[in-house]
């Protein structure tokens, strides 16, 4: 199982922001598991912590030509090259203290970020890395630009570039980010660029105030002004670098990304689609809310709350009285007259709905599977119920005893066989199937 990462020692950067032209100082500190990448504006009194995620990324129409995050009117701009370095080095958790509103542009690439983080060292944490796994095609387009993501066991990116400029022209890159950054993978050194005819319009928009011929490749019809390429395909490599940085706002994920002429605007709109996809993926099913793994044969009500996301009135397991992780579990549901469903389900002669008995059985099955170290932090997505049989009614005052026995439990799927009893009499049984997905 791949674990989360942070840095071993503090890292410091200072420089001018590419767009604001203002000096910023950045102090990067190690952080605990499941923290994420959190920015704190130290130059703003009582500034909120800004976690780089779906919910903090800002509208690219309001903040163009860069990727920014913010909360309550406090912003951090142009995070993409820094985030790309973290993505490439597989850094999951950091506290980023910043004095200023923009990450320093440095040389216009991610090179100095990568070099300094490598120098500080990378520490592995005792917590599993949590991937967003793409299970269905996702597509977005804007004019002649488009991005599609398809299911894939790793993160793969294919990028096609096309400019109506003879020097930039067309370019294509196909790569997999499936291991540590290799010495021969030089795209993190690719610098930002713009066309000479864009300079005036960018300045009129208040952008590019910190750009110069050293940190930005300015491309005219005759060549690059006052600079030269680091490698022949630097333009397309930088577009891939931007995409890698923008995608990391979504955190680690697995899928095949095919991008055609995409930039920050479309990349951020893709993040919005990924947010909706993740929300839809996690609104049902039995999800492990933490990486908690019980160590005893019993699981208390408080411990169940650390494994399952369900809360009253939809938490239908009071206690796990027997647990052989990944093999067998026995759970208890005390059925009281105060249950909300009795108010409308045959109120004159209350009977527990059969679908809720099945849900209770699924929750016990979810605890059994998610209590295993190899499935900690995953989601048990309820996929199918077969051979369902209801034998007797369950009424107020009954104690439902649910036994779950594992069938075939693999890395991505699980089948369990369940039976529910009241007073040692069988009331329901079913075969339940789950998809085990990294949330």
Catalytic residue numbers? 264, 345
What distance in Å separates the CA atoms of residue 127 and residue 37, rounded to the nearest whole number?
16
Please choose, from the candidates 6, 3, 12, 50, the residue with its C-alpha nearest in 3D space to the C-alpha of residue 30.
Answer: 6
Tokens at residue 107, please?
């040389």
Q: DSSP secondary structure string, 396-437?
A: TT-EEEEEEEEEEE-SSEEEEEEEEEETTEEEEEEEEEEEEE
Query: Which string of DSSP letters, residue by residue, matches 6-63?
Result: EESS-EEEEEE-TTT--EEEEEEEE--TT--EEEEETTSTTPPEEE-STTTBPPTTTS
Q: In this structure, are residues 120 and 12 in contact, taking their beta carbons and an 8 Å threshold?
A: no
Collect all residues with Cβ–Cβ distance below 8 Å to 86 and sequence separation of at least 6.
37, 94, 113, 117, 248
HSE of 406, CA atoms in CB hemisphere, 13 A = 19
Exposed / middle / buried, residue 136 (Cβ in 10 Å: 0-12, 13-18, 19+):
exposed
d(CA 184, CA 110): 15
Q: What distance separates the 2 farthest-apart alpha carbons in the chain?
A: 87
Neighbours of 348 (CB within 10 A): 4
Total residue length of the chain = 439
């Amino acid at each position: 199982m791949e674990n989360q990462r942070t840095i071993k020692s503090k890292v410091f950067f200072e420089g001018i922001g590419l767009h604001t032209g203002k000096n910023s100082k950045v102090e990067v500190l190690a952080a605990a598991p499941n923290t994420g990448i959190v920015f704190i504006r130290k130059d703003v009194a009582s500034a909120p912590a800004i976690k780089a995620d779906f919910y903090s990324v800002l509208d690219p129409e309001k903040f163009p030509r860069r990727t920014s995050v913010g909360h309550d009117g406090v912003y951090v701009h142009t995070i993409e090259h820094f985030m790309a370095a973290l993505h490439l080095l597989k850094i999951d958790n950091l506290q980023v203290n910043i004095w200023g509103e923009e990450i320093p542009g440095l040389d216009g690439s991610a090179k100095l970020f990568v070099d300094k983080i490598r120098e500080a060292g990378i520490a592995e944490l005792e917590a599993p890395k949590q991937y967003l796994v793409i299970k269905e095609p996702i597509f977005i387009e804007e004019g002649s630009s488009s991005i599609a993501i398809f299911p894939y066991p790793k993160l793969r990116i294919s990028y096609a570039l096309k400019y109506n400029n003879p020097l930039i022209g067309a370019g294509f890159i196909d790569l997999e980010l499936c291991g540590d950054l290799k010495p021969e993978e030089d795209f993190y050194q690719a610098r930002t660029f713009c066309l000479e005819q864009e300079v005036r319009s960018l300045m009129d928009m208040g952008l590019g105030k910190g750009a110069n011929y050293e940190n930005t490749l300015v491309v005219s019809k005759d060549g690059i002004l006052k600079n030269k390429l680091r490698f022949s395909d630097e333009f397309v490599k930088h577009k891939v670098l931007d995409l890698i940085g923008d995608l990391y706002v979504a955190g680690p994920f697995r899928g095949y990304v095919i991008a055609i002429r995409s930039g920050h605007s479309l990349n951020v709109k893709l993040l919005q689609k990924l947010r909706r996809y993740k929300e839809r993926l996690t609104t049902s099913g039995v999800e492990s809310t933490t990486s908690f793994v019980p160590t005893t044969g019993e699981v208390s009500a408080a411990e169940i709350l650390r494994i399952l996301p369900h809360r009253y009135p939809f938490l239908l397991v009071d206690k796990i009285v027997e647990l052989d992780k990944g093999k067998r579990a026995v759970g208890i549901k005390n059925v009281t007259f105060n249950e909300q469903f009795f108010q409308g389900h045959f109120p004159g002669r209350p009977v527990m709905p059969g679908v809720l008995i099945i849900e209770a059985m699924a929750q016990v099955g979810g605890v059994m599977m998610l209590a295993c170290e190899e499935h900690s932090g995953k989601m048990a997505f309820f996929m199918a119920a077969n051979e369902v049989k209801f034998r007797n009614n369950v009424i107020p005052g009954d104690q439902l005893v649910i036994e779950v026995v594992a069938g075939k439990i693999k890395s991505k799927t699980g089948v369990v066989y369940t039976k529910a009893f009241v007073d040692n009499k069988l009331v329901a049984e079913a075969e339940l199937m789950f998809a085990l997905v990294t949330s």
